[in-house]
């Protein structure tokens, strides 16, 4: 049971999160080697646009836009948010001259971690529900030991969304404040 949890939840989470860090480091290194560091300065714009585009899933989930294929929209949400986060991280680089920008990056990383956590926990809970079937009995045959607890797990994990949204809001607020400060202090001459 413990090994399965590590294999189905913890390991995929680490692969996605460490993959984001490695892709960021490799992209930044490549830009430096090609003497294209200036490109990283502007990757924040398409990265932000991709992250904004990923909110299509949230809007569809709240029935603000109509869609027939919510699972496909969820996949787009995950890919767009991951790629957008990658671009924003490359944009941030290792430049410590903008505290507001770094706060936004920190909030974005917490948001990514929260999203990945929810993704894998919900996946695991749904798999356990499918394995339990419609029977209220658990694998040992005891009444209520399987399906009941799994449905509680799904319900608890679904409550995770109530945490993920404020984190996403904090990231959006800090990113917007960073963007506004850039426009205010940009050397427009």
Q: Comparing 135 with 122, which gets the higher pLDDT?
A: 122
What's residue 154's pLDDT? 65
Q: What was the pLDDT predicted at 103?
A: 87
Is residue 159 predicted with pLDDT exceeding 70?
A: yes
**Count of Cβ atoms closer than 10 Å to residue 26 Cβ:** 11
- Residue 88 pLDDT > 80: yes
Q: Mind listing the pLDDT tens digit for each residue in 49-78?
A: 999 998 888 888 878 888 878 888 888 988
* Whole-number Cα distances in Å, 175 to 27, 88, 106, 132: 22, 10, 10, 43
- Taking residues 167-171, report their average pLDDT: 89
DSSP line for 6-33: IIIIIHHHHHHHHHHHHHHHHHHHHHHH
Least confident of 25-29, 41-45, 158-162: 158-162
**Rounded-to-integer distance, Cα 56 and Cα 53, Å:** 6
CA angle, residues 133, 120, 114, in degrees to nearest 5:
140
**Number of helices and strands in the chain (H, E):** 9, 0
Per the rule left: phi > 0, alpha: psi between -120 and 50, beta: everything else, 141 is left
Task: Give rounded-to-5 percent helix, strand, coil for the chain.
Answer: 80, 0, 20
Beta-bridge partners for 137: 143
Which SS3 state, helix, strand or coil, does residue 73 take? Answer: helix
Residues 139, 59: Cα–Cα separation, whole Å: 38
Taking the model in full, what pTM does it have? 0.75
Residue whose structure tokens are 């339990």? 132
| 13 C-beta neighbours (distance < 10 Å), count | 16
More confident residue, 39 or 125: 39
pLDDT band (50, 70, 90) for residue 79: very high
User: Average pLDDT for residues 145-151, to the nearest whole number?
Assistant: 60
Name the pLDDT band for 12 (thresholds 50, 70, 90).
Answer: confident
C-beta atoms surrounding 57 within 10 Å: 22
Which residues does residue 143 pair with via DSSP β-bridges, in sequence order? Answer: 137
The answer to whether 54 touches 80, Cβ cutoff 8 Å, is yes
Give the model's pLDDT for residue 148.
Answer: 65
Q: Which one is predicted more confidently, 145 or 49?
A: 49
In this prediction, residue 86 has a pLDDT band, given cuts at 50, 70 and 90, of very high
- Cβ atoms within 10 Å, residue 68: 7
């Amino acid at each position: 049971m413990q090994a399965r949890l590590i294999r189905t939840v913890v390991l995929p989470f680490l692969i996605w999160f460490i993959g984001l860090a490695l892709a960021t480091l490799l992209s930044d290194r490549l830009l430096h080697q090609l003497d294209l560091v200036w490109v990283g300065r502007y990757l924040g714009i398409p990265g932000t646009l991709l992250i904004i585009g990923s909110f299509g899933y949230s809007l569809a989930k709240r029935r603000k836009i109509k869609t027939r294929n919510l699972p496909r929209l969820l996949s787009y949400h995950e890919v767009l948010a991951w790629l957008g986060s990658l671009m924003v991280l490359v944009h941030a680089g290792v430049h410590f001259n903008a505290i507001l920008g770094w706060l936004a990056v920190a909030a974005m990383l917490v948001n990514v971690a929260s999203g990945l956590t929810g993704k894998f926990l919900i996946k695991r809970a749904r798999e356990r529900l499918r394995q339990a079937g419609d029977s209220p009995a658990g694998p040992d045959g005891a009444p209520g030991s399987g399906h009941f607890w799994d449905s509680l797990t799904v319900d608890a994990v679904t409550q995770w969304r109530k945490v993920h949204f404020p984190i996403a809001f904090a990231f959006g607020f800090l990113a917007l404040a960073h963007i506004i400060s850039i426009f205010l202090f940009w050397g427009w001459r």
